[in-house]
């Protein structure tokens, strides 16, 4: 059954912030070491950064990278990672040695090479509020005080100008080292925020939040005036202990009420009249949680094969199929729909583990999710506009990983335009693994050129790997738009229809 679709570019819903397509990089497994930071590899530059990874990040115009964690940060002391001599420390979160050869200065240098904003998450686990503000001194004071002077001595006379800072990671979680109670959290955040702002009043501060009244309501009530952001995280297909990915249908079940975390958080912001004053940074999201058995749970792994070796399983590219691409497009559509309050989102992570890019000694694998960012950053408009469909979207009963049945819409549609040029771009995701879908378009004007960009593979379980490129973007010219134009959306596909 065809869906009649009317797009009205005059009815603007929101202008999305480019940081909606942000990313995350943690000191975990091969994201930093043997990942972006690979000194000695012929593909690396004079600073040891993989130039092929940087180029791939530039192609999807990475706007911001959050670093250094994640759980890692809750026992990280930033001062170990600066200066001429770097002494290795023990990373108590992930239970490995941290060489400290990639630290603040290297991270900021990397961001400047990519052309993205650095976003630093601070240690609210074992760290002190003064350690956080010292970090701001080191990065942002021109020359006052010992930390700015130290940065200058380390070869960085100009301040790093780090604008985005998060107070803590998931300090609400039992798994986080140095976790805090809902009673402790607001006071710690407020005092940290005061100190950091006294160093640099221009910094934009976030704090770990939850769609949970006990934790977040108190945070907002006591810290609202000090925060520009609250940070939300979500993974749907939970695999920390068992690396058994949800299959395609179960992955689609995870799209059921995909924005409920945002809706709950924005409800709290609304109730305290903070919407518009505090934005949401969804600064860790991915369909698949990372695999790191016996490190977040008791008993902890003792033998390295219990808890360290299994982390290599995250590198198995066959797990990242069209399910990851379709799910990620649905999530980004949802964030665009909430673009009036969600101003940043960070795919977790960008490189290796469950990332959009996988690096190996001789090159890269661009996984299915990488191409979603390529489409959304380079082909979709920046202004979300209203759309009307004449019929209910087709429903599909799917079985979740937990065996429960869910009813999801098999199409996910988002209409956009550009703030600086004419035309529209429709993101159209067909979740169904077998059935194509057809849309019949009505636009205010006729005669513009229609082009369909389709991300797909031969089947829903297709994936990219070394020497295997099953998933990619095809471009199809559809001629000039006329009222009633019919467009077919293939099964298990992510599409951007441009009419410009
Ligand atoms: O699995 C990785 C972890 O997920 C991140 O370090 C943490 O922020 C989240 O719980």
Instruction: Report which protein residue has its CA nearest ligand 1's atom 8.
Output: 70
Q: What is the band of 100 on the pLDDT scale with cuts at 50, 70, 90? A: very high
Secondary element (H or E) of residue 217: helix 213-223
Q: Among the atoms of ligand 1, which is closest to the Cα of residue 284?
A: 8
Distance 462 CA to ligand 1 centre (A): 27
**Which residue's structure tokens are 């980004």?**
332
CA of 234 to the centre of ligand 1 (A): 9
Residue nearest to atom 6 of ligand 1 (CA): 70
Give SS3 for 88: coil
Selection from 351, 325, 356 nearest residue 67 by Cα: 351
Round to whole Å and give the CA distance between 280 and 232.
7
Continuous segment of H or E residues that includes residue 264:
helix 260-271
**Averaged pLDDT, 448-476:** 98
| Gap between the Cα atoms of 390 and 441, Å rounded | 11
Q: Which of 437, 441, 434 is nearest to 497 (CA)?
A: 441
pLDDT beyond 90 at 207: yes
Please give the structure tokens belonging to residue 181: 């109670």
User: pLDDT at residue 84 above 80?
Assistant: yes
pLDDT above 90 (res 152): yes
CA-closest residue to ligand 1 atom 7 = 70
Question: Residues 280-299: pLDDT tens digits?
Answer: 999 999 999 999 999 988 88
What is the rounded CA–CA span in Å between residue 253 and residue 242?
19
- How far apart (Å, rounded) are the C-alpha atoms in residues 136 and 165? 9
Hey, which of 24, 71, 171, 296 would you mutate to test ligand 1's pocket, going by the most ligand atoms within 8 Å of its Cβ? 71
Whose alpha carbon is nearest atom 2 of ligand 1?
Answer: 290
Dist. CA 21 → ligand 1 center (Å): 19
Could you give the CA distance from residue 416 to residue 12 in angstroms, rounded to a whole number? 9
Rounded to the nearest whole angstrom, what is the distance from the C-alpha of residue 71 to the centroid of ligand 1? Answer: 5
Burial 457-481 (b: 16+ CB within 10 A, else e): beebebbbeeeeebbebeeeeeeeb
Q: Residue 80: pLDDT above 90?
A: yes
- Closest Cα to residue 356, out of 285, 418, 436, 435? 285
**% of the chain beyond a pLDDT of 90:** 99
pLDDT at 179 over 80: yes
Task: Collapse the DSSP code of 431 into the 3-class scheme (helix H, G, I; strand E, B; otherwise coil) and give the result.
Answer: coil
Residue nearest atom 5 of ligand 1, based on CA coordinates: 70
Beta strands in 255-328, from DSSP E residues, in sequence order: 279-288
Whole-number Å distance between alpha carbons of 68 and 76: 9
Beta bridge partners of 383: 15, 417
The H-or-E segment that residue 38 falls in is none
Protein residue whose Cα sits closest to atom 9 of ligand 1:
70
291 CA → ligand 1 middle, Å: 10
Query: Judging by beta carbons within 10 Å of its beta carbon (0-12, 13-18, 19+), is residue 328 exposed, middle or buried?
Result: buried
Cα(459) to centroid of ligand 1, in Å? 31
**pLDDT value, residue 298:** 84
Report which ligand 1 atom has the smallest distance to the Cα of 28: 6
Mean pLDDT on 115-141 = 98
Q: What is the pLDDT of residues 211-260, one digit of tens each?
A: 999 999 999 999 999 999 999 999 999 999 999 999 999 999 999 999 99
Measured from the Cβ of residue 179, the count of other Cβ atoms closer than 10 Å reads 18
CA pair distance 130, 133, nearest whole angstrom: 5
- Going along the chain from its start, the domains and CATH numbers come out as 3-11+382-499 (2.60.40.1180), 15-379 (3.20.20.80)
The residue whose CB lies within 8 Å of the most ligand 1 atoms, and thus the one to mutate among 24, 27, 32, 70, is 70
Contact assessment for residue 3 and residue 393, using Cβ atoms and an 8 Å cutoff:
yes
Is-cis flag, bond preceding 68, omega within 30? yes
Chain segment 330-355, per-residue pLDDT in tens: 999 999 999 999 999 999 999 999 99
**Polymer length in residues for the chain:** 500
Q: Are the CB atoms for 78 and 84 separated by under 8 Å?
A: no
What's the 169 CA to ligand 1 centre distance in angstroms? Answer: 9
What is the whole-number distance in angstroms between the Cα of residue 103 and the centre of ligand 1?
19
Ligand 1 atom with least separation from CA of 26:
6
Mean pLDDT of 451-455: 98
Tell me the sheet residues that pair with 61.
none
Q: What is the DSSP string of 101-161?
A: -S-HHHHHHHHHHHT-EEEEE---SS--HHHHHHHHHHHH-SS-HHHHHHHHHTT--S---
Q: Which atom of ligand 1 is nearest to the CA of 175?
A: 10
pLDDT (0 to 100) of residue 150: 98
Higher pLDDT, 457 or 296: 457
356-396 confidence digits (pLDDT tens):
999 999 999 999 999 999 999 999 999 999 999 989 999 99
1 pLDDT band, cuts 50/70/90, is confident
- Determine the atom of ligand 1 nearest the C-alpha atom of 176: 10
Radius of gyration of the chain measured on its C-alpha atoms: 23
Taking the CA of residue 72 as reference, the ligand 1 atom at the shortest distance is: 6
CB 22 within 8 A of CB 283: yes
Distance CA 132, CA 120 (A): 10
Residue 70: closest CA among 300, 233, 258? 233
Q: How many angstroms separate the alpha carbon of residue 27 from the centre of ligand 1?
A: 11
What is the DSSP code (8-state) at residue 224?
Answer: G
Express each pLDDT in 13-60 by its tens digit: 999 999 999 999 999 999 999 999 999 999 999 999 999 999 999 999
Around ligand 1, the residues with Cβ closer than 6 Å are: 26, 69-71, 169-170, 233, 284, 289-290
pLDDT at site 297: 81
Mutate to test the pocket of ligand 1, among 23, 24, 233 (most ligand atoms within 8 A of CB): 233
Candidate of 179, 231, 235, 293 to mutate for ligand 1, largest count of ligand atoms within 8 Å of Cβ: 235
Residue 199 has pLDDT above 90, yes or no: yes
Q: Which residues pair with 342 in a beta bridge?
A: 280
């Amino acid at each position: 059954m065809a869906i009649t679709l009317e797009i009205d570019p005059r009815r603007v819903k929101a202008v999305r912030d480019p940081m909606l397509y942000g990313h995350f990089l943690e000191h975990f497994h091969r994201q930093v070491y043997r990942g972006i930071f690979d000194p000695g590899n012929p593909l690396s530059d004079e600073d040891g950064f993989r130039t092929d990874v940087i180029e791939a990040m530039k192609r999807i115009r990475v706007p911001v990278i959050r670093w250094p964690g994640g759980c890692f940060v809750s026992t990280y002391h930033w001062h170990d990672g600066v200066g001429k001599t770097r002494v290795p420390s023990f990373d108590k979160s992930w239970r490995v040695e941290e060489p400290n050869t990639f630290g603040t200065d290297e991270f900021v240098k990397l961001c400047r090479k990519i052309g993205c904003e650095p976003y630093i998450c601070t240690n609210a686990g074992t760290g002190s509020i003064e350690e956080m503000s010292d970090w701001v001194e080191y990065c942002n004071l021109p020359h006052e005080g010992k930390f700015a002077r130290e940065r200058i001595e380390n070869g960085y006379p100009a301040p790093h100008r780090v604008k985005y800072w998060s107070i803590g990671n998931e300090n609400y979680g039992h798994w986080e080292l140095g976790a805090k109670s809902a009673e402790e959290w607001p006071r710690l955040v407020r005092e940290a925020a005061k100190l950091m702002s006294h160093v640099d009043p221009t910094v934009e501060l976030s704090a770990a939040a939850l769609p949970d009244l006990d934790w977040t309501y108190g945070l907002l009530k006591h810290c609202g005036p000090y925060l520009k952001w609250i940070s939300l995280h979500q993974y749907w297909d939970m695999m920390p202990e068992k690396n058994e990915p949800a299959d395609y249908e179960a992955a689609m079940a995870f799209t059921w009420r995909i924005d409920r975390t945002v809706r709950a958080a924005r409800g709290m912001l609304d109730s305290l009249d903070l919407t518009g004053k505090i934005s949401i940074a969804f600064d860790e999201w991915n369909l698949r949680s990372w695999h790191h058995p016996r490190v977040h749970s008791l008993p902890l792994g003792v033998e390295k094969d219990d808890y360290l070796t299994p982390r290599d399983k995250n590198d198995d590219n066959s797990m990242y199929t069209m399910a990851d691409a379709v799910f990620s497009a649905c999530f980004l559509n949802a964030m665009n729909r909430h673009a009036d309050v969600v101003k940043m989102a960070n795919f977790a992570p960008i490189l290796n583990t469950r990332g959009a890019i996988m690096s190996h000694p001789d090159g890269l694998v661009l996984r299915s999710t990488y191409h979603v960012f390529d489409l959304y950053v380079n082909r979709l408009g920046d202004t979300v506009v209203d759309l009307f469909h004449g019929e209910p979207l087709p429903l599909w009963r799917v079985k979740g990983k937990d065996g429960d049945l869910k009813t999801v819409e098999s199409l996910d549609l988002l209409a956009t335009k550009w703030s600086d040029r004419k035309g529209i771009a429709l993101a159209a995701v067909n979740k169904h693994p077998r059935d194509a879908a057809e849309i019949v378009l009505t636009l205010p004007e006729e005669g513009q050129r229609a082009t369909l960009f389709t991300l797909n593979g031969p089947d829903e379980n297709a994936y990219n790997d070394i020497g295997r490129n099953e998933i990619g973007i095809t471009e199809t010219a559809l001629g000039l738009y006329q009222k009633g134009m019919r467009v077919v959306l293939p099964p298990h596909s992510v599409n951007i229809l441009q009419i410009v």
